[in-house]
Amino acid sequence: MSGGPRLVVENLVAGYVRGLPVVHGVSIEVDRGEIVTLIGPNGAGKSTLLKAIAGLIATEGGRVWVDGRDVTALPTHRVVSSGIGFVPQTGNVFTTLTVHENLKAGAHVIHGSLDERLERAYALFAPLAARRALRARALSGGERQMLAIARALMTDPTLLMLDEPTAGLAPRMVEDVFRQLRGLAETGIAVLMVEQNARAALSVSDRGYVLAEGRNRFAGPAHALLDEPRVAEAFLGGRR
Ligand SMILES: Nc1ncnc2c1ncn2[C@@H]1O[C@H](COP(=O)(O)OP(=O)(O)OP(=O)(O)O)[C@@H](O)[C@H]1O
Ligand SMILES: [Mg+2]
């Protein structure tokens, strides 16, 4: 534990082909208890940035610290044990497994106290408790997203990263997901999410970053970004 921000990303360079980065030196920070939203056009490198932080793809430059610990270029399982939980954009649950099996799979890197974690997940997400024997493919979109989040929480992350957690959800479900994230942040978890529902996401966030062409474009308190005409026009679908 350190006094600094929970997540510090400094000048991160990453991509899929060595020498051809799509993230060109991005810097972001997330504090404990904060919700930070990353927005930007399609192809801006938002998902790539999260994958690089999570250790799923190689980085070519820059540094990532979690609670003051350098996790740059650690293999994914080591990144997970450093406290990062990641809910990817797609394929974030095993559709052929039950809710219960998905949660157990989420805790595979953890030793001991599984029952306690399962009960905690069901207490936090009551609809999942009622559906624990159901296969994930039978869940609604909102329930599936809930399961993906619950699954990522099984490792007790101090930083939860989510890639478009509300994609494809009905507006009421979008609010539910954001309310859950708010609740998690209130327990001290740092939340970093990428969102296309930019306006709604910023409304529940503390701070935000706009990424364009793999670079930082704007950053600031969420309300300031919502009120910034250059951000609203180019990245939030016009003025309010
Ligand atoms: N697996 C991959 N292999 C090669 N290139 C990829 C891969 N995934 C993404 N890219 C490329 O990297 C760039 C950034 O993509 P990325 O998925 O990070 O964007 P994004 O900001 O998340 O966009 P979106 O809003 O559409 O999700 C794009 O040019 C994309 O084509
Ligand atoms: Mg993406």
Task: Going from the first residue of the chain to its last (240 residues), give the mean pLDDT of each consecutive group of 10, the final group possibly shorter.
Answer: 83 96 98 97 96 92 94 81 88 94 85 85 93 96 93 93 93 90 95 95 97 97 96 79
Do 167 and 79 lie in one domain? The reply is yes
Do 128 and 175 lie in one domain? The reply is no
**90 CA → ligand 2 middle, Å:** 9
Task: Please give the pLDDT value at position 150.
Answer: 95
**Residues lying with their CB under 5 A of ligand 2, a single-atom ion:** 47
Task: Please give the pLDDT value at position 81.
Answer: 76
Task: Please give the pLDDT value at position 2.
Answer: 55
Do 97 and 139 lie in one domain? The reply is yes
Do 50 and 166 lie in one domain? The reply is yes
Do 71 and 165 lie in one domain? The reply is yes
DSSP reduced 3-state for 207: strand
Query: Which of ligand 1's atoms lies nearest the C-alpha of 46?
Result: 21
Q: Which of 135, 156, 177 is the last residue of a domain?
A: 156
Mutate to test the pocket of ligand 1, among 47, 51, 193 (most ligand atoms within 8 A of CB): 47
Do 122 and 190 lie in one domain? The reply is no
Do 97 and 150 lie in one domain? The reply is yes
Query: Which of ligand 1's atoms lies nearest the C-alpha of 44?
Result: 21
**173 CA → ligand 1 middle, Å:** 26
Do 202 and 101 lie in one domain? The reply is no
**47 CA → ligand 1 middle, Å:** 7
Do 72 and 40 lie in one domain? The reply is yes
Give the total number of structural domains in the chain.
2
Structural domain containing residue 37 = 1-83+158-240
Do 6 and 17 lie in one domain? The reply is yes
> pTM above the 0.85 mark?
yes
**40 CA → ligand 2 middle, Å:** 9
* Alpha-carbon distances of 212 from 27, 40, 41, 44, rounded to whole Å: 13, 6, 7, 5
Task: Please give the pLDDT value at position 239.
Answer: 54
DSSP reduced 3-state for 181: helix
Do 20 and 128 lie in one domain? The reply is no
Do 108 and 144 lie in one domain? The reply is yes
**121 CA → ligand 1 middle, Å:** 32
Report which protein residue has its CA nearest ligand 1's atom 9. 48
Task: Please give the pLDDT value at position 164.
Answer: 95
